[in-house]
Structure 1
Amino acid sequence: MKTLTIFTPAYNRAYCLGKCYESLLRQTNQEFIWLIIDDGSTDETGKLVDSWVKEQKIEIQYYYQENQGMHGAHNKAYQLIETDLNMCIDSDDYLADGAVEKIIHFWQKNGNKDVSGIIGLDADQHQRVIGTRMPAQIKRSTLFNLYNKYGVTGDKKLVYRTELTNKYPYPIFQDEKYVGLAFKYYKLDQEYEMLLLDEVLCHVEYLEDGSTHNMINQYRKNPKGFAFYRKELMKLPYAGQLFKFRQAIHFVSSSLMMRNQYFLKESPKKGLTLLAIPFGLLLYVYILFKSRTVKHV
């Protein structure tokens, strides 16, 4: 069996998916499977992937489902993956040359059951590392501590042990398409640290139709998903009060968005949530204003 599955959620991304495919063809180590979760595309994604499957240059698995959003595509990927390790490469990103070789070699040398996986670097299209590199003084950390204790910034590439990633499935809310992916990662942080690999594994591009550029509208359209996410982050046993207070502000805002009058009763941190109400109200008004502005741009 191969060691690594690289999975790619795709929704109407036939126009940019080829760059990801070409980067996989360039890999010096072919001990991976490319799993594409087609999340309800209405473009030529299926036909394009079928043509690549027929080329038989790399092992490709393709699965189509009705549109559920990024987190729903992740849920399905984790159900299907059978390799020891997995990583997500978004449809508008591509793998760095030699990345598979680096991951497998590093894991064979350092991996064990005491860690949940590997954290590597993302870079932009011009080879510049996104945010900061890994701190030289440590070899392993939770994802949460990497950002909140060691001051690392920017998106990072995560490689997880597959036996762990079916834990904590993302909930699916009717008529909504978004739940923060870090919910699962921070849950796993309660049990494991991750190995730090100061190597670029992925090149990222933030397209205009991507979730990063559409976050304001995501916030407006998916209040149940956002409220769930903020409640879960308030429960984290290792997070400080300031972090939890920020989550409470967002929880109040999302609760107002969904007109949930029982949000204070439902909050895992009622005192913090009570204090956060005026700030959450301001955020709610700001989101309404910004989403209308974005809609008319």
Structure 2
Amino acid sequence: MKTLTVFTPTYNRAYLLPRLYRSLKGQSCKDFIWMIIDDGSTDETLQLVEKWKGEGLVDIEYFYQENQGMSGAHNTAYQHIKTLYNTCIDSDDMMPGNGVELILRSIKSVDDTKDIAGIIGLDADVSGKVLGTLMPTGIESTTLNELHRKDKVTGDKKLVYKTEVMREIEPYPVYPNERLVPLSHKYLLADQKYKMIPVNEIFCLVEYQEDGSTRNMLKQYRRHPKGFAYARITRINLEKGLKEKFKNAIHLVSSGLFSGDYKSWFKSQHTLLVLAAIPFGVLLNLYIRLKTKKNQ
């Protein structure tokens, strides 16, 4: 059995997947499985995968599902992963030639550590420039949330988790006519019980696409309000600082206005805080409507 699963949710990305495939077949370490979660593609994705399987250069597992969005694809991946560790490499990203080798070398220290969920590495652009800041020195272990809030680390980072940890945390809910619950929701839940080891090594090469979720976040807020509300309620309950709780309360109000589910405002442990955030949530909602008007 291989040690690592690299899983890739994809939807109509046949024009980008060959680049990721080239980076994976060129890995210096082959101790990994590439799991492709095809989230309802109608392009040439399946034909490409069958061709690559025939080449036998990468150990590939392929799963097709009706379109459920990014969080639904993550649910499917966690259901099927059999390796000890996993990491998500998106369809528009790549791995450096020694990416798998660096992950497996760095993660050896967490094998028998019960309170460590995995490691956090770096993302870089295609030229190799690290996105955001490096990991602070002198920190043996931390949580993803503390890394961003307390240590002020910025930029996307690559997460490598023990598969058993991801399996014990509840799946992302799937809402009718919605396709996204913020992936950070599951990581925040993991933070409540486990820590991660930060690593100053580049695990992933990123190139943001015009049709990617990162470049379209305001549209995502509008299209998936129940999924975002679900995540905001959790953050209101679990964030330690009042400022962060209030910020998420503002977003919860806005999401409730988009979905019409005003009952969501009363589902956190801090109802008065959410009610105090209503004027600000209304303003945020109007701002998002204005910014996304042309796309509706």
* Structure 1 segments of 4+ aligned residues over 4 angstroms from their partners: none
Structure 1 residue 251, shift from structure 2 partner: 0.1
Range that drifts further, 98-107 or 40-49: 98-107
SS in 2 for 1:283: helix
Out of 224, 227, 230, which is 1:228 matched to?
Answer: 230
Supply the AA of the counterpart residue of 1:196: P
Q: CA deviation at 1:239?
A: 2.2
Determine the C-alpha separation between the residues in 2 that align with 1:152 and 1:126.
21
Deviation at 1:214, TM superposition (A): 1.7
Match of 1:34 in 2: 34
User: What's the secondary structure of 1:141's corresponding residue?
Assistant: coil
Matches of 1:62 and 1:69, distance apart in 2: 16
Mapped partners of 2:205, 2:190: distance in 1: 25
CA–CA distance in 2 between the matches of 1:2 and 1:88?
16
3-state DSSP class of the match of 1:159? strand
Q: CA deviation at 1:185?
A: 0.3
List aligned pairs for 1:230-269, cutoff 5 A: 230-236=232-238, 239-269=240-270
Secondary structure (helix, strand or coil) at the match of 2:123 reads: strand
CA distance in 2, matches of 1:110, 1:263: 38
Q: Tell me how far 1:267 sits from its aligned partner.
A: 3.2
* CA root-mean-square deviation: 1.2
Aligned residue runs from structure 1 range 195-206, under 5 A? 195-206=197-208
Q: Within 5 A, what are the aligned runs for 1:54-133?
A: 54-111=54-111, 112-133=113-134
CA distance in 2, matches of 1:218, 1:235: 23
1: distance between equivalents of 2:69 and 2:3?
27
Answer yes or no: is the 8 Å Cα contact 2:20–2:93 preserved in 1. Answer: yes
Contact 2:4 2:31 in 1 (8 A): yes
2:98 maps to a residue whose letter is G
User: Measured at CA, do residues 199 and 271 of structure 1 come closer, stay the same or move farther in structure 2, by a change above 3 Å?
Assistant: same
Q: Work out the percentage of aligned pairs sharing the same amino acid.
A: 51
Residues 260 and 60 (structure 1 numbering): CA distance in 2 closer, same or farther, change over 3 Å?
A: same
Query: In the aligned structure 2, how far is the partner of 1:114 from the partner of 1:29?
Result: 27
Partner-residue secondary structure (3-state), 1:140: coil
Per the TM alignment, residue 263 of structure 1 is displaced from its structure 2 partner at its CA by: 3.5
Instruction: Trace 1:122-271 onto structure 2 (pairs within 5 A).
Output: 122-166=123-167, 167-236=169-238, 239-271=240-272
SS at match of 1:101: helix
Secondary structure at 2:190's aligned position in 1?
Answer: helix
Number of equivalenced pairs: 294
1:124-152, Cα deviation, whole Å (9 max, x unpaired): 01111000000012121100000000010
The offset of 1:154, in angstroms, is 0.4
Once residues 264 and 21 of structure 1 are traced to their aligned partners in structure 2, the CA distance between those partners, rounded to angstroms, is: 44
Deviates more, 1:206-215 or 1:70-79: 206-215
Q: Is the 8 A contact 2:110 2:118 kept in 1?
A: no
C-alpha separation between the residues in 2 aligned to 1:109 and 1:141? 15
1:22 counterpart residue number: 22
8 Å Cα contact 2:122-2:156 kept in structure 1: yes
Contact 2:237 2:268 in 1 (8 A): no
Q: Which amino acid aligns with 1:127?
A: G
Partners of 2:279 and 2:237 in 1: how far apart?
A: 21
Could you list the per-position Cα deviations for residues 176-234 of structure 1 after superposition, in whole angstroms to 9, with x for gaps in the alignment?
00100011100000001001110000001110111112212111111111111101111
Q: CA deviation at 1:110?
A: 4.7
Taking structure 2 as the reference length, what is the TM-score of the superposition? 0.97
Give, in whole Å, the separation in 2 of the partners of 1:239 and 1:24: 40
One-letter identity of the residue aligned with 1:75: N
CA distance in 2, matches of 1:109, 1:228: 34
Point out where structure 1 has 5 or more consecutive residues left out of the alignment.
none
